[in-house]
Amino acid sequence: MHRELTIRLDLATARDLRDLIYGFGEHIAAGESLPIFDSASSQRLGKVLDVLEELLRDRGPTR
């Protein structure tokens, strides 16, 4: 059974997440430096991780 998870993001957080994922990909693929985020961006991304962790915990083990 396919299970879905939805997280709603405001525009600033969505852009931060995109930049984080893209920057991480460039770091892995080409050895680029990891992106540095300002305090506000870091806080927004931290909240996304907190929400994701809570949602995943509520759904139980994945295996």
pLDDT digits (tens, 9 = 90+) for 8-47: 999 999 999 999 999 999 999 998 888 899 999 999 999 9
What is the Cα–Cα distance from 54 to 26, expressed in whole angstroms? 28
Residue 1's pLDDT is 53
Q: 23 in a domain, yes or no?
A: yes
- Classify residue 63: in a domain, yes or no: no
Question: Is the Cβ–Cβ distance between 34 and 40 less than 8 Å?
Answer: no
> Is residue 36 in a domain?
yes
4 phi/psi in degrees, rounded to 5: -115, 155
Number of domains in the chain: 1
Look at residue 35 and tell me if it is in a domain. Answer: yes
Whole-prediction pTM value?
0.79
5 in any annotated domain: no
In terms of residue numbers, what domain contains 41? 11-58
